[in-house]
């Protein structure tokens, strides 16, 4: 086993750790360990809400979640010799949930995880206009498989991956994030939920930063919610074991952090906490490409997908076009994919699932999303591939409903 450079006491909050992580992005958050190019290492991770969600049959913890705590990240880890303009090469070697009985039973990752739908008042999600209330599904882990007492009739293999990782931004890049996101907020400042999340000093966790710098950095540090130029909360299910990710480096040491581990997730993570969320551990290998950003014209991460993923071969595919509530949208791929999701949900309701159950399932299961056509004006077309083998019953349209032509008797000759 690789050396654990960020061990955690999983009975304690990230805020209570002897060496805490962080829940904001800022270049001045100090690195807590250093590794060398070519090293392999392990890191422990808390579940992204720092233990706010429990293994219960109600969604009050989703409804009442304090979002200013999120995401709690492990790190930063410095890479010896990394400089701005380099590329940090990160290999995802292995990962998994906490071993049962090694952590408190009420901690996500202790043999279970969860998927949630946030209420509109608490941030909402991709389908908030259709599902405005909080809901939750608990998933039990059985090796590589997950089942849920809240969504019966389904069993699937997970594709574990970190939802969030990347290198620290430079001071200039951080200022650019704040500038452009505040400009977006200013276009509709009263919107609920807001169009973006500005710096939030409340519950900001800034690692081992000195107290004398805390107040200033709290006012500048960016929230971890969106993906950005450096990577961050990309939520890409194929960043799984065997993946190689090339991250741009913006500060000396790179200052690499990780968190938001997922047992499984569908393309798009269509609910705001729409993966099977868990705490656990992850192992990386790292290396550097000196001057790589200029050499390869790179300013956002690129990656090679992992070699380990569920092998499903049969799908029922739902289409969506950029028409919603009777309104024509011009080549809007977001609307098209939302309609594909809603068409799949409405279909699954015919098999006895509630809309909320279907929504949670499409967030957590290894569905595939395709941007199928963005050239035929005025409609973009998106598709959602739902693996049918995850169900313990047949969800295809029944052959019994087919209208067959009466061919009569064969002609004869005399």
Domain span including residue 52? 3-304
Q: What is the overall mean pLDDT for the chain?
A: 95
For residue 122, name the pLDDT band (cuts at 50, 70, 90).
confident
405 or 180, which is more confident: 180
Rg (CA), the chain: 23
Within its chain, how far is the Cα of 395 from the centroid?
A: 27
- Percent of the chain whose pLDDT exceeds 70: 98
Q: Is residue 236 part of a domain?
A: yes
Residues 6+ apart with CB under 8 A from 179: none
Query: How many angstroms separate the CA atoms of 270 and 320, rounded?
Result: 15
Q: Is the pLDDT of residue 414 over 60?
A: no
Taking alpha carbons only, the member of 87, 135, 65 closest to residue 291 is 87
The token duo for 4 is 């654990």
Q: Same structural domain for residues 352 and 382?
A: yes
Q: Same structural domain for residues 233 and 372?
A: no
Q: Same structural domain for residues 281 and 325?
A: no
Summarised one tens digit per residue, pLDDT across range 202-239 is 999 999 999 999 999 999 999 999 999 999 999 999 99
Q: Same structural domain for residues 203 and 93?
A: yes
Q: Is the pLDDT of residue 102 over 60?
A: yes
Residue 1: per-residue pLDDT? 76
Q: Is the pLDDT of residue 405 over 70?
A: no
Lowest mean pLDDT among 97-111, 145-159, 269-283, 374-388: 97-111
Q: Same structural domain for residues 261 and 349?
A: no
Residue 272: per-residue pLDDT? 84
Cβ(230)–Cβ(164) below 8 Å: no
Q: Same structural domain for residues 215 and 351?
A: no
Q: Is residue 227 part of a domain?
A: yes
Residue 88, beta-bridge partner list: 247, 288
Q: Same structural domain for residues 239 and 291?
A: yes
Summarised one tens digit per residue, pLDDT across range 42-64 is 999 999 999 999 999 999 999 99
For residue 99, name the pLDDT band (cuts at 50, 70, 90).
confident
Report the CATH number at residue 360: 3.10.28
Residue 275: per-residue pLDDT? 96
Query: How many angstroms separate the CA atoms of 218 and 248, rounded?
Result: 24
Cβ(161)–Cβ(262) below 8 Å: yes
The pTM is what?
0.94
Helix 355-364 vs helix 333-349: angle between axes, to the nearest 10 degrees? Answer: 120
Place of tokens 């569908």: 266
Q: For 153, how many CA atoms within 13 A lie in the half-sphere containing its CB?
A: 12
Structural domains in the chain (count): 2
Residue 412: per-residue pLDDT? 47
Q: Same structural domain for residues 165 and 45?
A: yes
Report the CATH number at residue 106: 2.60.120.580
For residue 193, name the pLDDT band (cuts at 50, 70, 90).
confident
Mean pLDDT of 339-363: 98
Within its chain, how far is the Cα of 247 from the centroid?
A: 17
Q: Is the pLDDT of residue 413 over 50?
A: no
């Amino acid at each position: 086993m690789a050396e654990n450079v960020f061990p955690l006491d999983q009975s304690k909050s990230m805020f209570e750790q002897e060496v805490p992580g962080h829940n904001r992005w800022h270049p001045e958050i100090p690195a807590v360990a250093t590794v060398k190019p070519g090293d392999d290492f392990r890191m422990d991770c808390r579940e992204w809400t720092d233990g706010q969600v429990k293994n219960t049959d109600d969604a009050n913890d989703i409804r009442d979640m304090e979002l200013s705590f999120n995401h709690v990240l492990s790190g930063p880890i410095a890479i010896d010799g990394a400089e701005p303009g380099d590329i940090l090469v990160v290999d995802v070697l292995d990962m998994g949930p906490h071993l049962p009985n090694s952590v408190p039973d009420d901690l996500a990752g202790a043999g279970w995880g969860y998927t949630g739908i946030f209420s509109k008042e608490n941030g909402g999600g991709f389908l908030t206009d259709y599902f405005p209330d909080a809901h939750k599904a608990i998933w039990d882990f059985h090796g590589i498989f997950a089942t849920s007492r809240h969504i019966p009739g389904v069993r699937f293999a997970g594709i574990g991956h970190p939802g969030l990782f990347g290198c620290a931004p430079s001071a200039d890049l951080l200022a650019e994030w704040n500038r452009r996101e505040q400009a977006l907020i200013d276009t509709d400042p009263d919107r609920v939920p807001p169009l973006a999340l500005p710096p939030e000093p409340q519950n900001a966790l800034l690692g081992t930063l000195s107290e004398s710098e805390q107040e200033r950095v709290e006012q500048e540090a960016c929230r971890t919610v969106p993906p950005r130029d450096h990577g961050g909360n990309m939520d890409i299910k194929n960043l799984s074991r065997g993946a190689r990710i090339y991250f741009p480096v913006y500060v000396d040491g790179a200052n690499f952090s990780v968190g938001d581990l997922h047992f499984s997730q569908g393309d798009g993570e269509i609910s705001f906490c729409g993966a099977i969320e868990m705490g656990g551990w992850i192992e990386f290998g790292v290396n550097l490409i000196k001057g790589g950003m200029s050499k390869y014209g790179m300013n956002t991460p690129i990656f090679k997908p992992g070699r380990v993923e569920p092998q499903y071969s049969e799908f029922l595919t739902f289409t969506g076009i950029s028409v919603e509530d009777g309104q024509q949208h011009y080549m809007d791929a977001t609307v098209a994919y939302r309609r594909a999701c809603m068409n799949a949900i409405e279909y699954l309701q015919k098999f006895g699932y509630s809309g909320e159950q279907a929504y949670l399932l499409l967030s957590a299961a290894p569905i595939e999303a395709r941007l199928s056509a963005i050239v035929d004006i005025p409609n973009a077309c998106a598709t959602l591939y739902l693996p049918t083998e995850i169900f313990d019953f047949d969800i295809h349209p029944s052959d019994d409903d087919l209208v067959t032509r009466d061919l009569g008797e064969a002609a004869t000759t005399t």
